[in-house]
Structure 1
Amino acid sequence: MMQAQTVAPLKVQRTSVKQKIARGMILAGIGSIILVKIYLVVFVIDLITGIYGLITTSLVFVAFLFAFLKYQDPSFTGKFPPPEKPHFVSVIIPAKNDPVIIRKSVAAILNSTYPHTEIIFVNDGSTDDTGAVMDELHKENPEKVKVIHMVQNVGKRRAIREALLQGSPKGEIILLIDSDSVVKDDAIEKIVRVFDDPDVGAATGSAKVINVDQNILTKIQDTWYDGQFFVIKGMESCFNSVTCCSGSLSAYRKEAILPCLDAWCNDKFLGIEFRPGDDRHLTSYVLGGNKHYIDRKNKSWKVVYCAGALVYTEAPSTLKKFVNQQIRWKKSWVRVFLFNAPFFFKNRHVVSVLYYYTQMTLSLLAPIIAYRALVYLPLNGRVYDAMFYLFGLLFLGLMFGITYRLRNPDTGDRWLYRILMTPLSVFFSSLMYYSIFTVKNKSWLTR
């Protein structure tokens, strides 16, 4: 039996002077672009695309501003005393046909700096030897690993529900990890410290691409993930309102998710079962969905981002897989936005509210604006409008790329790949309406 271990105090991470100067230059750069866009809107470019670009750039500026100047990793703040008895963590890993990487995933958890854990596997109707591998891991670690076998594939939501009901998790903290993800050795220790705050209901970590060197596409995604986590989730975390706890690594207070378990598991949209977006949807219940939809007596919890809790996850390595992933994500985005819209504004900071609803509205308009700027206006002799539109996107990509370089100084010139996300983002914006019109189509689902 594993002996109890003492969790060492974490050292506070501080921003260097060089990083502070670089961050100031990034903010100044984005601020300058805003001023230029105001001039262009008034005197030069198309009014519609100009106003859209101005608002979009302003939102990005707000995100960078709060991420740089206000965000603090909640695992380092030390504002709340640790509990007398360490939080016990039940790690749930649903998997289908992932026999190789789950061994790495379990090894990382067992070798973690945080010893107070158990692992509950759910074999979600695998057709290969995934179930056998899980059974072997249980035999090797009978006191730490449990296995639940599903006769047929039921999807990630129901697999997690079975783990919570059949697996009898002992932990008051439920840690959800995708089967293709491997946590850093101190990730669990860091993310668990966040729950010393009794009002935190959920927390998410930072994801990096485990197969980053496979090809150009995986390098692009690694740089993109960094900005989506540190800048966007960092800003949201300043207001305790992170809107999506990533499936690669997220922790939930058990009492925060039990009220919605059946509703979340059996979610229907437009009259049919809806499986995509399990992580985003569960986050929304914790943020306020439990109170709005389940019972007014339920609590609306804080949801935060723990930048120091790192997880390495496998990213799509082909364009087809990447496109399929983006379609699934956009379908879930639409469904959860409609779910959040009636309550997100309640008892929340005005900056968070304005940012959320404005961002959602702009995302819905993005395909129309892209078509107007890149097709309609050039065909009518206004080529410069397309040039200004693309320049604005490239500049913002450059700012995210420089931020990646600051945060990952040992990655060489990989930060340049973030700029390549710009043409992809234009293409992916066009998938929004396709995702809406095919929301009932289940052929894109992986689980």
Structure 2
Amino acid sequence: MDAYLLLTLSLGWVLSALLYVIPLLCVIVWRKETFLAKDYTVQRRVAVLLPCFNEGPHAYDTIKSISESDYPAGLLEIVAVDDHSTDDSWEWIQKAQRDFSGPVRIAAYRQPVNKGKYEALNRAANIATSADIFICIDSDCTFHPDAVRELVASFTSDKIAAVGGHVRVSNVNDNLVTKTQATVYFYAYKVMKMFQNRLRNVTCISGCLFAIRRDAFFEIEDDVKTCNFLGAKFSAGEDRYMTHLLMLRGYQTAVNLDAICWTEVPTTFRKFFTQQWRWRRSGTQDYLLTLRTLRRHARNVHPLSAMNLILPETVNYLMLFTFVFAIASGNALEWIVSHQVFTYTVFAPFLFGVHFWAKRCAPDQAVKGGPLPLLPFIAAWALAGTVTCAMMAIFTMDSSSWGTRVSKKQEESAGTVEDGAQLEGMQPQQG
């Protein structure tokens, strides 16, 4: 037991230092250097690209939110592409087009068959022929009126290819699952992404709010479309993969915390697990890409960012390996005990620190009832969820599911709706 306790705790402390302690200390030391320079006199033509699948009325609310942006209407257009949803999403998109078209142009298009999120995003990009900057968003988000203006103002250098926004949780206090996610989101943006922001190498810009130069989007288009794992097409985590490809080309990637959007996180454990499973597939793919292209990373990516891409996943899979080995050798109980000792000793002070920080600077993201009730859930998830997701991710790398939206059976039973409904004067271009 002593050997497993020592090995597991050692790996755990290495992981905690990499993911929590070192970035936090760096952000404290760097302070204002983590933020972006902005130029609000810069006004470019912007197309907000909205891929949608089985979001129902959420799609309507998202289009309404973007149409109310504090940005010159003549320079803003919205392109919504329904990826052949099996619910009434297409009807909601058409209603939004009718209700909010005017100063802001809104184009709507329905894919003839379900093709996946990136294909819908790419279709939207090919419809928006006049935009200088694409802002890719998720169809279950709402946006601060200043979000578009803040993102555009962040492109102060030709070296900056993409800028992300600050994703907050809209349903923080629904239940234990949402409270946990809100806590993680807050820390991820306030510390992890600010640490990477100082390096101008944010390793994953969230697809909830992802601004990218038009030429950069099409520069990486072929690589994203042909992404595969051992010959099988891979389509999970397009936002992470797109960010990584930009970094490999020597571009800078960043986050603007003043460009705010809110997303509704999963409220059930089943949906949460499905989301985490999809994200783990994306993380594994990103990890393998890093290992395959180490020389390019040495040339184009900041060493600390390269470390951030490699070491956490390495430690995660080492933890998985020790777990499998413990089962094979009959020492699974010892491994579980040592893992839980680590989780409780590390995350208890972490949770309290994040909670009081959120109460001070973002009260809408602070959980009611304090952070202590979250600890058992986090400990259980760190043990069962992380190990299970890691193993399942390896064997499902070719999955093309949207993640939390619909089953394969539902996709196959989708009805036919005439595709190609656009606002007048906004005909789609072939990609």
TM-score by length of 1: 0.78
Equivalent residue number for residue 329 of structure 1: 279
Task: Determine if contact 1:370/1:426 at 8 Å carries over to the other structure.
Answer: no
Written as runs of structure 1 = structure 2, the 5 A alignment for 1:229-268 is: 229-268=189-228
Q: Residue 437 of structure 1: which of 384, 390, 395 is its match? A: 395
Please report how far the alpha carbon of residue 408 of structure 1 lies from its aligned counterpart in structure 2 after TM superposition. Answer: 2.3
Would the alpha carbon gap of residues 397 and 117 (structure 1) be closer, same or farther in structure 2, given more than 3 Å must change? same
Partners of 2:251 and 2:297 in 1: CA distance: 12
Residue identity opposite 2:79 in structure 1: I
Would the alpha carbon gap of residues 353 and 384 (structure 1) be closer, same or farther in structure 2, given more than 3 Å must change? closer
Equivalent residue number for residue 150 of structure 2: 190
Equivalent residue number for residue 340 of structure 1: 290
Equivalent residue number for residue 219 of structure 1: 179
SS of 2:299's equivalent in the other structure is coil
**Structure 1 runs not aligned, ≥5 long:** 1-40, 292-299
Task: Determine if contact 2:164/2:209 at 8 Å carries over to the other structure.
Answer: yes
Equivalent residue number for residue 312 of structure 2: 359
Please report how far the alpha carbon of residue 379 of structure 1 lies from its aligned counterpart in structure 2 after TM superposition. Answer: 4.8
Partners of 2:172 and 2:215 in 1: CA distance: 36
Aligned residues: 391
Q: Residue 239 of structure 2: which of 279, 304, 309 is its match? A: 279
Task: Determine if contact 1:405/1:415 at 8 Å carries over to the other structure.
Answer: no
Of residues 385-394 and 96-105 in structure 1, the stretch that sits farther from structure 2 once superposed is 385-394
Q: Residue 256 of structure 2: which of 291, 306, 310 is its match? A: 306
Please report how far the alpha carbon of residue 250 of structure 1 lies from its aligned counterpart in structure 2 after TM superposition. Answer: 1.0
Task: Determine if contact 2:203/2:240 at 8 Å carries over to the other structure.
Answer: yes
Please report how far the alpha carbon of residue 73 of structure 1 lies from its aligned counterpart in structure 2 after TM superposition. Answer: 8.2
SS of 2:154's equivalent in the other structure is helix
CA displacement 1:158-179 (0-9 Å, x = unmatched): 11111122x1332211101101
Residue identity opposite 2:69 in structure 1: S
1:403 aligns with 2:320: no
Would the alpha carbon gap of residues 188 and 66 (structure 1) be closer, same or farther in structure 2, given more than 3 Å must change? farther
1:63 aligns with 2:63: no
SS of 1:196's equivalent in the other structure is coil
Please report how far the alpha carbon of residue 246 of structure 1 lies from its aligned counterpart in structure 2 after TM superposition. Answer: 0.6
CA displacement 1:136-184 (0-9 Å, x = unmatched): 333341551011221111111111111122x133221110110111111
Please report how far the alpha carbon of residue 444 of structure 1 lies from its aligned counterpart in structure 2 after TM superposition. Answer: 7.8
Partners of 1:111 and 1:376 in 2: CA distance: 60
Please report how far the alpha carbon of residue 398 of structure 1 lies from its aligned counterpart in structure 2 after TM superposition. Answer: 3.5
Equivalent residue number for residue 106 of structure 1: 63
Written as runs of structure 1 = structure 2, the 5 A alignment for 1:343-422 is: 343-368=296-321, 379=333, 387-388=341-342, 390-409=344-363, 411=366, 413=368, 416=371, 419=375, 420-422=377-379
Of residues 387-396 and 118-127 in structure 1, the stretch that sits farther from structure 2 once superposed is 387-396
SS of 1:98's equivalent in the other structure is coil
Residue identity opposite 1:93 in structure 2: L
Equivalent residue number for residue 209 of structure 1: 169
Partners of 1:316 and 1:287 in 2: CA distance: 30
SS of 1:153's equivalent in the other structure is coil
Equivalent residue number for residue 119 of structure 2: 158
Please report how far the alpha carbon of residue 135 of structure 1 lies from its aligned counterpart in structure 2 after TM superposition. Answer: 2.5
Would the alpha carbon gap of residues 138 and 442 (structure 1) be closer, same or farther in structure 2, given more than 3 Å must change? closer
Equivalent residue number for residue 127 of structure 1: 86
Of residues 202-211 and 275-284 in structure 1, the stretch that sits farther from structure 2 once superposed is 202-211
Task: Determine if contact 1:373/1:389 at 8 Å carries over to the other structure.
Answer: no
CA displacement 1:219-274 (0-9 Å, x = unmatched): 22111111122211111111111111111111111111211213312422222221
Q: Residue 87 of structure 1: which of 17, 38, 44 is its match? A: 44
Q: CA RMSD in A?
A: 3.0
Please report how far the alpha carbon of residue 441 of structure 1 lies from its aligned counterpart in structure 2 after TM superposition. Answer: 4.8
Task: Determine if contact 1:223/1:418 at 8 Å carries over to the other structure.
Answer: no
Would the alpha carbon gap of residues 129 and 318 (structure 1) be closer, same or farther in structure 2, given more than 3 Å must change? same
Indicate the structure whose relative CO is greater, using CA pairs within 8 Å and at least 6 residues apart: 2
Partners of 2:34 and 2:262 in 1: CA distance: 20
SS of 1:256's equivalent in the other structure is helix
Give the % identical residues: 24
Of residues 354-363 and 370-379 in structure 1, the stretch that sits farther from structure 2 once superposed is 370-379
SS of 1:70's equivalent in the other structure is helix
SS of 1:157's equivalent in the other structure is helix
SS of 1:203's equivalent in the other structure is strand
SS of 1:195's equivalent in the other structure is coil
Equivalent residue number for residue 15 of structure 1: none
SS of 1:238's equivalent in the other structure is helix
TM-score by length of 2: 0.81
Please report how far the alpha carbon of residue 207 of structure 1 lies from its aligned counterpart in structure 2 after TM superposition. Answer: 1.4
Residue identity opposite 1:338 in structure 2: L
Would the alpha carbon gap of residues 122 and 248 (structure 1) be closer, same or farther in structure 2, given more than 3 Å must change? same
CA displacement 1:343-396 (0-9 Å, x = unmatched): 333233333333332222112223345678999768569967853553224333
Partners of 1:414 and 1:249 in 2: CA distance: 30
Partners of 2:336 and 2:277 in 1: CA distance: 32
SS of 1:204's equivalent in the other structure is strand
Residue identity opposite 1:226 in structure 2: F
